[in-house]
Chain A
Amino acid sequence: MKLTADDVQKIATLARLEIKEEEIARTAEQLSNILSHVQQLNTLKTDSIEPTAHAVLVPTPFRGDEVVIDTAKGDSPKELALANAPDREGNLFKVIKVL
């Protein structure tokens, strides 16, 4: 499995990452090595095997669709949610103009 420079650029764009020009060849090589290694799974016969997503299955629990406000402890959930924002205006997350 050999990834090309174009493949690496395409994956990086999908992942919202930038790879510097001088790092492309090395990244392609490292990813190719790992992909070659994982391809040994191709030797397994799995046609009649069911996939396992979680090794220990529990039924999905549901909670009621209710607004929860933690007023008893004096916390404002809005303030907590915004406290780590890199940029904000009032009670809103501030972002670069989209349209």
Chain B
Amino acid sequence: MTLHSLTLHEIHEKLRKREVSSVELTQAVLKQIAKTEDKIHAFITLTEELALAQAKQADDLIQKNKGASPNNFAPLTGIPIALKDIFLMKGTRTTCGSRILSNYVAPYTATSVDNLLKDHAVIIGKLNMDEFAMGSSNETSHFGICHNPWDLKRIPGGSSGGSAAAVAAGDCFGATGTDTGGSIRLPAAFCNLVGIKPTYGRVSRYGVIAFASSLDQVGPLAKDVTDCAILLKALAGHDPRDSTSLNLPVPDYTASLTKDVRGMTIGIPKEYFVEGLDPEIEKAVRTAIDHYQKLGAKIIKVSLPHTTCAVPTYYILAPAEASSNLARYDGIRYGFRHPEARTLLELYTKSRTEGFGPEVKRRIMLGTYVLSAGYYDAYYLKAQKARTLIRNDFEEAFKQCDLLLTPVAPTAAWKIGEKTDDPLKMYLSDIFTINVNLAGLPAMSLPCGFTKGGLGESPLGEPPLPIGMQLIGNHFKEETIFRAAFAYEQANEWHQRRPAL
């Protein structure tokens, strides 16, 4: 197996045994990027020079440790990681997938990125994404569509599409993402990866460009559960610079990887197995449920009666918050300024009109409308109350079980262009992930099978596509998710498959 196909923890072992250097690793992924980037377009910016300098430093640190027992360097030391282009890293361009920030150079570094740098991770580049993280397919990026490494005709999922495509293609050994309505879990499911959206407040958002502040959360995308645990441990922690950051100790998530789910109760919400769910997805998820039963978990039926309120609630709250957050792009202090504006009002209007893409403008307008005079009670307040009902549903469910198991999405990855003309159709692909953000819960997407593929329209046939399942935990219970995910993963091989690129 080539280096770039290995997992992060396998690479750490190789570094520990001095079988490979960080510089060699960095060169290997840069080679893989050069080979695959024309096909998938996962990166907006490559930070090749910086990465090689960081790799050299990491190698020095590892050499200094020679003979030390145990090896005194972090599991991320010397390992190439990439960042969704929503994370600020000082001195590096950060675009958020938008024309309006196409020349923006970050003046400081996000706390979560700083945490990776403290562990001497190597930052290989900034990843493609839906503009301002608004999208489920990565098609709204100003810098071009990102392609799914499992089938180049298809989308990788969004908004962290570049993060998923890069990890799946072996361009890096892990990536950061953000998840406001499913933006980590959906691309993880579509690209056969493990991705976790932690409890709201678990990872600092300081230095992460804001979309919808009551929902946004940072998390990792990785090749397996162990890598995901290592990355979350590194990213998480209290940060006084983020007022929503939780002041709780961060557990060692790798300690939860025990393979044992005996005594655990897993709830299956009936509202997630409804019409519109692709039969192949349902079959894969139900097989996984049976598997948990065999492993000794108790399976029970639960109900989350307000599930169908998720999409309408989200598409009031998220655009409302976005319209306020994105008011800062005014063409004055940073970002694109239209050269032909003659008055201050024109400067705002023209800069924003040409700086933002259609989906971002649509959401700003939607948010502006629901917050405008006379409509606040009917939309925003109503949605905040619906949110309480959604949250109460989960509270009730978690009185009966430790975890919930659901599909991540109603279908596997769809073809490029299939949903771009119908925003509402695109929004409905997040039907199983949005509730979790509204309730602030932690949830993971992990591989649980593949579609059959087959003949299809293409003469070469349709390749099998990854299927993901979702494990939802109660607030602060990431460890329960990791424990159950690891138990399933150790008894299955889906996560070991790599796309043929």
**Given A46-B386, A51-B384, A61-B243: A84 touches B365 (CB 8 Å cut-off):** no
Give A61 to B247 CA distance when docked, in angstroms: 11
Q: Is the interface of B mostly helix, strand, loop or mixed?
A: helix
Could you say which of B127-135, B147-155, B229-237, B331-339 contacts chain A?
B331-339
**Given A52-B388, A84-B333: A31 touches B105 (CB 8 Å cut-off):** no
**At the interface, yes or no: A11 with Cβ under 8 Å from chain B?**
yes
The count of A-to-B residue pairs whose CB atoms sit within 8 angstroms is 161
Give A18 to B353 CA distance when docked, in angstroms: 6
Chain B 321-364 near chain A by CB (<8 Å), digits 1 or 0:
00100010011111111000111110111101100100001101
Asked if A17 contacts B365 (CB within 8 A), the reply is yes
Question: Which residues from 28 to 54 on chain A have a C-beta closer than 8 Å to any C-beta of chain B?
Answer: 30-31, 33-35, 37-42, 44, 46, 49-54
Chain B 148-183 near chain A by CB (<8 Å), digits 1 or 0:
000000000000000000000000000000000000
**Given A15-B368, A17-B352, A95-B344: A56 touches B440 (CB 8 Å cut-off):** yes
A-chain residues with CB within 8 Å of residue B353 when the two chains form the complex: 17-18
Give A3 to B330 CA distance when docked, in angstroms: 27
Interface residue total, chain B, C-beta cutoff 8 A: 72
Asked if B365 contacts A86 (CB within 8 A), the reply is no
A-chain residues with CB within 8 Å of residue B108 when the two chains form the complex: 80
**At the interface, yes or no: B4 with Cβ under 8 Å from chain A?**
no
**Given A84-B107, A86-B335: A18 touches B349 (CB 8 Å cut-off):** yes
Asked if A55 contacts B387 (CB within 8 A), the reply is yes
Kindly name the residue among B201, B247, B368, B441 whose own CB sees the greatest number of chain A CB atoms within 10 A. B368
Identify which of A35, A39, A50 contacts B385 (C-beta below 8 A): A50
Asked if A86 contacts B364 (CB within 8 A), the reply is no
Give A85 to B372 CA distance when docked, in angstroms: 30
A-chain residues with CB within 8 Å of residue B356 when the two chains form the complex: 17
**Given A30-B423, A37-B424, A51-B388: A98 touches B348 (CB 8 Å cut-off):** no
* Extra A-B contacts (12), CB below 8 Å, given A38-B383, A44-B389: A3-B369, A15-B364, A38-B315, A41-B386, A55-B440, A56-B201, A80-B107, A84-B103, A84-B107, A85-B332, A95-B347, A96-B342
Give A52 to B380 CA distance when docked, in angstroms: 11
**At the interface, yes or no: A14 with Cβ under 8 Å from chain B?**
yes
Residues on A facing B (Cβ under 8 Å): 3, 7-8, 11-12, 14-18, 27, 30-31, 33-35, 37-42, 44, 46, 49-56, 58, 60-61, 63, 80-81, 83-87, 93, 95-96, 98
Asked if A40 contacts B199 (CB within 8 A), the reply is no
Asked if B244 contacts A58 (CB within 8 A), the reply is yes
- Give B375 Cβ to nearest chain A Cβ, in Å: 10
- Give B233 Cβ to nearest chain A Cβ, in Å: 20
**At the interface, yes or no: B42 with Cβ under 8 Å from chain A?**
no
Give A12 to B361 CA distance when docked, in angstroms: 9
Identify which of B244, B337, B368, B379 contacts A14 (C-beta below 8 A): B368
Minimal Cβ-Cβ distance residue in B for A88 = B333
**At the interface, yes or no: B439 with Cβ under 8 Å from chain A?**
yes
Minimal Cβ-Cβ distance residue in B for A54 = B214
Could you say which of B22-30, B258-266, B305-313 contacts chain A?
B305-313
Give A50 to B381 CA distance when docked, in angstroms: 10
Supply 6 A–B pairs (Cβ within 8 Å), ascending by A. Answer: A18-B350, A33-B424, A41-B386, A44-B309, A52-B384, A55-B440
Give A81 to B334 CA distance when docked, in angstroms: 9
Asked if B312 contacts A31 (CB within 8 A), the reply is no
Asked if A55 contacts B391 (CB within 8 A), the reply is yes
- Give A36 Cβ to nearest chain B Cβ, in Å: 9
Asked if A27 contacts B365 (CB within 8 A), the reply is yes
Minimal Cβ-Cβ distance residue in B for A42 = B382
B-chain residues with CB within 8 Å of residue A50 when the two chains form the complex: 385, 388
- Give B426 Cβ to nearest chain A Cβ, in Å: 11
Identify which of B246, B312, B333 contacts A56 (C-beta below 8 A): B246
